[in-house]
Chain A
């Protein structure tokens, strides 16, 4: 079946611009996660959605970052007024529920010039 998909695969933007990243989870997966991974670094948790519960936003690095999810489907991660330090790969993952293994999308490579 279809895995997690993300778009765009690559995004180059200028400092100060807003960007929107999209994640399509695996159908039926109630949990959805966003991570950031800088070059050569580990995964940095950003935000977690579980069904209709309030999202866990504890990993968002600043108020420039926000994310939404419509029901148990698509999620978008928005970064406003991008900065060069936002350059990273943004990975989305979904799982059947909280305690199950996660399946990752291919990521969006964001470069802020």
Chain B
């Protein structure tokens, strides 16, 4: 089983829609979680960290569910500029273990 799994998509949604992605992780000792965004032929860029209590940044909401071992990213009022691949990152504390998901491709359609 992979350490981190994401639905590769693609997710094709109309402008203004709400879309959510999940990322499951296999190791319950995982301690740090992040969502990155990667545009086509560009490097990944941090979108937001994921805190235990959940966190929101404008139209983006990230949540952590430790019991079910997944993190989620919710995007409200989708914009064309949200089209990208969204990568989740899971870090195991105390060891050199950092895992990227393979990414979920989102396309927002006019």
B46 & A102 in contact (Cβ 8 Å cutoff) = yes
- Binding-face segment, B14-22, B60-68, B72-80, B94-102: B94-102
Per the bound structure, the CA–CA distance linking A103 and B34 in Å amounts to 12
Q: Which residues of B contact A98 (CB under 8 A)?
A: 91, 96, 98
Q: Which residue of A lies closest to B44 (CB)?
A: A104
Per the bound structure, the CA–CA distance linking A102 and B90 in Å amounts to 12
Q: Which residues of A contact B101 (CB under 8 A)?
A: 42
- Which of A42, A101, A103, A107 touches B87 (beta carbons < 8 Å)? A42
A50 & B96 in contact (Cβ 8 Å cutoff) = yes
Q: How far is the CB of B64 from chain A (nearest CB, A)?
A: 15
Q: Which residues of B contact A35 (CB under 8 A)?
A: 100
Q: Which residue of B lies closest to A104 (CB)?
A: B43
Q: CB within 8 Å of B: which of A27-49?
A: 33, 35, 41-43, 45, 48
A105 & B43 in contact (Cβ 8 Å cutoff) = yes
A: interface residue count bin: 20 to 34
Per the bound structure, the CA–CA distance linking A48 and B101 in Å amounts to 17
B55 within 8 A of A: no
Q: Which residue of B lies closest to A44 (CB)?
A: B100
Q: Which residues of B contact A43 (CB under 8 A)?
A: 44, 87, 100
Q: Which residues of A contact B87 (CB under 8 A)?
A: 42-43
Per the bound structure, the CA–CA distance linking A104 and B46 in Å amounts to 9
- Which of B46, B93, B96 touches A101 (beta carbons < 8 Å)? B46
Per the bound structure, the CA–CA distance linking A56 and B58 in Å amounts to 37
Q: Which 3 A-B pairs have the closest CB atoms?
A: A42-B102, A104-B43, A56-B96
